[in-house]
């Protein structure tokens, strides 16, 4: 019990936050040793302010006792950075929380296909319905949805997972006993009953504005991928996306109307190649089926995106031709037996950007990965990703499992 007291004492020191807190912990090795140190030892650490040193010199554990009493009364467990069950994927992020307050099921995140879902509080009906549907699909197929508890996209994602009877995790920006918004009381209870409520703040902590951006690093840190459903250009959702990119997580986005302010952020990260455009849960889970084959329940062929028929590509001149059987061969190949659709390059190239043309021409020879295209074209990876996204939307390219891409049309160059 004394160990937990010292962890709580350490997290309540003024000015001891973020990387500074991690630096102090690493310097001394444990909260007990931090507590036992003197002013001279503290002053040897670069960057500690006088206020922080003064706070460290306050050795009282009375506040820690109060917090532990509240946790016991409320059924809240504590998980510290040095516990064996602390999620490794969260420990690996920049500035991991030193203490997590936890109510509900104990979840082994490192074994879960945890997918974060984030988006606008002022969600449109389209966003609300999409978040709920996606969350239900993800949960039904074996993923674990992680989100906040704000109104709008967060609440819709929670309800979607609960609707199909699956667990869901909500990461809070205040104490677990402080319901925010107040009308989500029953939602809090439902999540704690089947999933988990998690916070780095002790009971009694109000949900303050400055807590939310910091909280977002935990949402993405616990997850293997992040879905943005609706978002303005500058928003908490985009900050979560930035955390995800920094943490090397997969990022996905739901497209919206091009003139909708609520979709400006999501449309932009798709355009810039920072996120994969998705239209359903399979578009997300196909990225993880090789890592978690026994967790996910995907139907046969669900990770094969069908090619758009060339006849539907507006404005292209289509010349269907049949390849003649090769002379001297008793057996023809599959390609010999099928109609091969060609497009006239001169009529298509003006509809494509320089990057899109270069990427498309580099895709000859079958299935390729994005890094191969970067090497062949010498175009930066994000521009290649952006070009691939647009080419998929236009029907020139399809994505297959394992982040591999195939051109679904061939061109007549003459």
pLDDT at 1: 44
**Cross-sheet strand order for the sheet of 114-118:** 77-80, 99-104, 196-199, 168-171, 144-147, 114-118, 225-228, 250-253, 276-277
Enclosing domain of residue 244: 104-285
Residues 56 and 187 in one domain: no
8-state DSSP, 143: -
Q: At what angle do helices 2-11 and 18-28 cross, to 10 degrees?
A: 140
- What sign does the CA torsion over 124, 135, 177, 3 have? negative
215 lies in some domain? yes
Radius of gyration over alpha carbons of the chain, in Å? Answer: 26
pLDDT at 384: 81
Helix (H) / strand (E) element for 407: namely strand 404-407
Residues 265 and 349 in one domain: no
Cis peptide before 405 (omega within 30 of 0): no
Residue 54 CB burial class (10 angstroms; 0-12, 13-18, ≥19) = middle
With a CB cutoff of 8 Å and minimum separation 6, the contacts of 71 are 77, 78, 101, 202, 203
Domain count, the chain: 3
pLDDT at 320: 40
Residues 55 and 114 in one domain: no
The CA-atom distances, in angstroms, between 48 and each of 17, 27, 32, 81, 312 are 11, 12, 19, 21, 64
CATH code for the domain in which residue 187 is found: 3.40.50.450
Flag residues of the chain having pLDDT under 50.
1, 306-340
Tell which residue, 218, 274, 256, 244, has the closest CA to residue 120: 256
Residues 155 and 42 in one domain: no
Rounded Cα–Cα distance for residues 164 and 91 (Å): 31
Calculate the CA 334 to chain-centre distance.
Answer: 40
pLDDT at 4: 93
Q: Would the pTM count as exceeding 0.85? A: no
Rounded Cα–Cα distance for residues 248 and 244 (Å): 6
Rounded Cα–Cα distance for residues 137 and 280 (Å): 8
Residues 146 and 278 in one domain: yes
Residues 227 and 117 in one domain: yes
Residues 110 and 214 in one domain: yes
pLDDT at 308: 46
Give the number of other CB atoms < 10 A from CB of residue 124: 19
Residue 315 CB burial class (10 angstroms; 0-12, 13-18, ≥19) = exposed
89 lies in some domain? no
CATH code for the domain in which residue 317 is found: 1.10.10.10
pLDDT at 346: 65
Rounded Cα–Cα distance for residues 25 and 37 (Å): 12
CATH code for the domain in which residue 23 is found: 1.10.150
The half-sphere exposure of 261 on its side-chain side, counting CA atoms within 13 A, is 4
Rounded Cα–Cα distance for residues 309 and 289 (Å): 27
Rounded Cα–Cα distance for residues 272 and 388 (Å): 11
Residues 120 and 197 in one domain: yes
The CA-atom distances, in angstroms, between 335 and each of 322, 331, 340 are 9, 12, 8
Contact 218, 225 (CB under 8 A): no
Residues 232 and 112 in one domain: yes
19 lies in some domain? yes
Residues 155 and 264 in one domain: yes
pLDDT at 414: 53
């Amino acid at each position: 019990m004394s160990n937990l007291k010292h962890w709580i004492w350490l997290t309540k020191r003024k000015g001891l936050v973020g990387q500074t807190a991690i630096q102090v912990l690493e310097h001394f090795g444990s909260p007990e040793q931090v507590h036992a140190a003197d002013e001279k030892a503290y002053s040897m650490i670069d960057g500690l302010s006088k206020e922080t040193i003064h706070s460290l010199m306050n050795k009282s554990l009375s506040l820690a006792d109060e917090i532990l009493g509240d946790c016991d009364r409320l059924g809240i467990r504590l998980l510290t950075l040095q516990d064996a069950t602390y999620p490794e994927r969260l420990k690996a992020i920049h500035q991991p929380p030193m203490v997590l307050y936890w109510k509900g099921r104990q979840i082994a995140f490192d074994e879960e296909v945890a997918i974060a879902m984030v988006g606008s509080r002022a969600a449109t009906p389209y966003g609300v319905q999409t978040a709920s549907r996606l969350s239900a699909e993800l949960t039904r197929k074996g993923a674990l949805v992680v989100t906040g508890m704000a109104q709008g996209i967060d609440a819709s994602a929670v309800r979607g997972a609960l609707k199909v009877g699956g667990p869901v995790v909500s990461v809070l920006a205040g104490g677990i006993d402080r319901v925010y918004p107040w009308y989500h009381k029953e939602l809090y209870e439902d999540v704690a009953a089947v999933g988990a409520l998690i916070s780095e703040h002790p009971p009694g902590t109000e949900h303050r504005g400055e807590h939310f951006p910091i909280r977002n690093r935990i949402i993405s840190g616990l997850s293997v991928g992040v879905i943005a459903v609706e978002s303005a250009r500058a928003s908490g959702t985009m900050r979560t996306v930035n955390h995800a990119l920094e943490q090397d997580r997969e990022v996905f986005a739901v497209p919206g109307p091009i003139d909708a302010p609520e979709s400006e952020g999501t449309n932009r990260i798709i355009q810039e190649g920072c996120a994969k455009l998705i239209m359903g849960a399979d578009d997300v889970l196909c990225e993880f089926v090789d890592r978690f084959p026994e967790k996910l329940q995907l139907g046969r062929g669900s990770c094969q995106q069908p090619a758009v028929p060339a006849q539907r590509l507006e404005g292209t001149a289509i010349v269907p031709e049949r390849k003649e059987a090769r002379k001297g061969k008793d057996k023809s190949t599959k390609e010999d037996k099928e109609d091969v659709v060609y497009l006239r390059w001169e009529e298509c190239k003006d509809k494509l950007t320089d990057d899109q043309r270069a990427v498309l021409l580099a895709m000859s020879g079958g299935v390729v990965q994005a890094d191969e295209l970067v090497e062949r074209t010498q175009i930066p990876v994000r521009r290649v990703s952006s070009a691939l996204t647009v080419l998929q939307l236009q029907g020139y390219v399809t994505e297959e499992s394992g982040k591999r891409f195939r051109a679904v049309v061939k061109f007549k160059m003459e």
